[in-house]
Homo-oligomer: A and B are copies of this chain.
Amino acid sequence: MGGILGTEICIAFGADYNPEQWNRDVWKEDLELMQQAGVNLVSVGIFAWSELEIRPDEYHFEWLDDALDGLAASGIKANVATATASPRPWFSRLYPETLPMLADGSRLWPGARQAFCPSSPIFRKHALRLTTKIAERYADHPALAMWHVSNEIGGHNALCYCDVSAAAFRRWLEDRYGDLDRLNETWGTSFWSQRYSEWGQILPSRQAATFGNPAHALDFRRFSSDACLAIYIAERDALRKITPDIPITTNLMPNHRELDYWAWAPEVDVVAVDHYLNSAEPEAHIELAFSADVSRGLAGGAPWMLMEHSTSAVNWQPRNIPKQPGEMIRNSLQHVAHGADSVMFFQWRASRIGAEKYHSAMVPHAGTDTKIWREIVELGGILERLQEVAGTTLSADVAMLYDWESRWALDAPSHPSVDVKYLDQVHSLYRALWGAGVTVDVIPPEANLAGYRLVVVPSLYIASAVTAGNVEQFIATGGAAIVTYMIIGNRATSPSSRVKWFATVSSMWRMVPTR
């Protein structure tokens, strides 16, 4: 029976594993504990640039050789990272022009992570050089099960407003529009005297005196998502040249706002996602279900990987709440029930250092005589007994159209009310379906609707003619659709639509201002 990775792994169980933070005695204990818990896959080297390329083009792979050999000897597979998630400090010291720029013109400096402009050709060159080195070195390593490109690409630096990004944005626009007249027409630059007479006049949607052109801002978001995706594709292609048969992915964030993952999903060999509960959300388990359904949607219904979640509290929310007893196992199985063939965590062993030292892990600071470790061991046993669900898929009668572009466009400023936010609208309808025990496929806006009984279209601000046609056809052939307000894109192009685009009464109250 082949699992999600085409290997002997049925349900992957493991974590990010960062041996570079620990001495060799700890490595030894790590392998023993991994075996004890039933860990079968770990992600290695994600932030290892620092330890691999000490100075430009001076590499130290020995420690990683040893770590991977240890995993292989213990029967644990490795999801080997390209290690390009965060460049070492020498990089921005040599190339300060690669630092990301905020909309106000200030820079993001090194000291955290992802301190690079996604469009930087200098960053790209260095990242590909390292990627190729790693691929060459570990192509035939017995532990290698898959490649992990970068990490949460665009998590912090998706929107870079620097001059390098400006030039890349212009090239992207030239590709999209061909001639400047078409761009001027589409953006509506006759409003507020914004017509461009040369490509070189176009800038990222930087800090301006008042509301910027909304089409400009929307295209800058599209470009930014594509610029981040291009990082993935470049590293993937470098890997594929060397190891054509090893699956390649990167960890997506289904509740992240900045990236249009419908465009990303076709580029990965297996959809892998990171998911973290929001402590401020009283019904976080419903958001988990929605994010898991988004993940399954990205995978086209096929099994997907939960690449990261947490064993208990995280460290980056204002108030980080530890999980209740049993909650981590319940969350894990909830992902499996929504189609995940993998339960993985950030991270294997809780760090003693760095910005995430308060982030929970499989092995907590307090060691193995702990609630968390006991539950990890229990979870390993449960997943072992669940092998028969691996590779299975779900079927749903209900589909919800979901769209990152509509999220960007609806949440833009200078709209009727700041209280109308895309994800609230989506969650509001999803919550009702979840409460009724309905399984929902979350699908792209232009997806085929055949086979569903009900299609839900929450506030799909940018609805294309294809989408409108699909929904009309779906209704004409007996389907039922719920379409809520703030749908703009298609009014002009399909004025005689037979679809009744209406606002649900239950959502409409949100238009009333809060006092």
Query: Interface of A with B (CB < 8 Å)?
Result: 18, 20-21, 47-51, 54-55, 83, 85-90, 93, 100, 104-115, 155-157, 187-198, 200-203, 205-216, 279-280, 313, 315-316, 318-321, 351-358, 414-419, 492, 513-514
Question: Is A355 a contact partner of B414 (Cβ separation < 8 A)?
Answer: yes
Question: Is A351 a contact partner of B106 (Cβ separation < 8 A)?
Answer: no
Of B196, B206, B320, B415, which contacts A315 at CB under 8 A? B415
Question: Is A115 a contact partner of B353 (Cβ separation < 8 A)?
Answer: no
Question: Is B355 a contact partner of A187 (Cβ separation < 8 A)?
Answer: no
Give CA–CA (A85, B209) in the complex, Å.
13
Question: Is B416 a contact partner of A188 (Cβ separation < 8 A)?
Answer: no
Contacts of A157 in B (CB 8 A): 209
Taking each of A192, A319, A353, which has the highest tally of chain B beta carbons within 10 Å of its own beta carbon?
A192
Give CA–CA (A197, B93) in the complex, Å.
11
Taking each of A54, A203, A211, which has the highest tally of chain B beta carbons within 10 Å of its own beta carbon?
A211
Give CA–CA (A465, B194) in the complex, Å.
48
Contacts of A205 in B (CB 8 A): 111
Question: Is A210 a contact partner of B318 (Cβ separation < 8 A)?
Answer: no
Question: Copy number in this complex?
Answer: 3
| A86 in contact with B193 given A109-B206, A210-B355 (CB within 8 Å) | yes
Closest to A200 in B: B93
Of B112, B193, B203, which contacts A48 at CB under 8 A? B193
**How far in angstroms is the closest Cβ of chain B from A217?**
8
| A210 in contact with B156 given A191-B351, A191-B355, A194-B50 (CB within 8 Å) | yes
Contacts of A193 in B (CB 8 A): 47-51, 83, 85-88, 113
| A318 in contact with B86 given A207-B109, A216-B111 (CB within 8 Å) | no
Question: Is B216 a contact partner of A89 (Cβ separation < 8 A)?
Answer: no
Question: Is B194 a contact partner of A111 (Cβ separation < 8 A)?
Answer: yes
| A210 in contact with B315 given A89-B201, A106-B105, A188-B354 (CB within 8 Å) | no
Question: Is B203 a contact partner of A110 (Cβ separation < 8 A)?
Answer: yes
Contacts A213-B355, A315-B415, A319-B418 supplied; 14 other A-B pairs, CB < 8 Å: A50-B189, A50-B190, A50-B192, A51-B190, A54-B197, A88-B194, A88-B195, A112-B211, A188-B352, A192-B355, A210-B316, A212-B355, A319-B514, A320-B417
**How far in angstroms is the closest Cβ of chain B from A296?**
28
Closest to A56 in B: B197
Give CA–CA (A313, B401) in the complex, Å.
30
Taking each of A18, A108, A113, A212, which has the highest tally of chain B beta carbons within 10 Å of its own beta carbon?
A113
| A195 in contact with B416 given A280-B513, A513-B280 (CB within 8 Å) | no
| A188 in contact with B89 given A54-B197, A355-B212, A417-B320 (CB within 8 Å) | no
Question: Is A93 a contact partner of B206 (Cβ separation < 8 A)?
Answer: no
Question: Is B113 a contact partner of A210 (Cβ separation < 8 A)?
Answer: yes
Question: Is A108 a contact partner of B353 (Cβ separation < 8 A)?
Answer: no
Question: Is A213 a contact partner of B112 (Cβ separation < 8 A)?
Answer: yes
Q: Can you give 21 A-B contacts (C-beta < 8 A)?
A: A51-B195, A83-B193, A88-B195, A90-B201, A104-B106, A106-B207, A108-B208, A110-B203, A111-B206, A112-B210, A112-B211, A114-B209, A156-B209, A187-B353, A190-B353, A192-B355, A316-B414, A318-B418, A319-B416, A319-B417, A319-B418
Question: Is B194 a contact partner of A315 (Cβ separation < 8 A)?
Answer: no
Question: Is B209 a contact partner of A112 (Cβ separation < 8 A)?
Answer: yes
Contacts of A320 in B (CB 8 A): 416-417
Of B105, B191, B313, B357, which contacts A21 at CB under 8 A? B191
Contacts of A356 in B (CB 8 A): 191, 211, 414
| A112 in contact with B212 given A189-B50, A419-B319 (CB within 8 Å) | yes
**How far in angstroms is the closest Cβ of chain B from A44?**
14
Contacts of A155 in B (CB 8 A): 210
Contacts of A357 in B (CB 8 A): 188, 214
Give CA–CA (A418, B83) in the complex, Å.
32
**How far in angstroms is the closest Cβ of chain B from A106?**
4
Taking each of A85, A189, A353, A492, which has the highest tally of chain B beta carbons within 10 Å of its own beta carbon?
A353
Closest to A353 in B: B188
Question: Is A354 a contact partner of B113 (Cβ separation < 8 A)?
Answer: no
Taking each of A104, A190, A205, A313, which has the highest tally of chain B beta carbons within 10 Å of its own beta carbon?
A190
**How far in angstroms is the closest Cβ of chain B from A194?**
6
Question: Is A414 a contact partner of B358 (Cβ separation < 8 A)?
Answer: yes
Taking each of A93, A209, A212, which has the highest tally of chain B beta carbons within 10 Å of its own beta carbon?
A209
Give CA–CA (A156, B211) in the complex, Å.
10
**How far in angstroms is the closest Cβ of chain B from A409?**
12
Of B195, B208, B321, which contacts A115 at CB under 8 A? B208
**How far in angstroms is the closest Cβ of chain B from A321?**
6
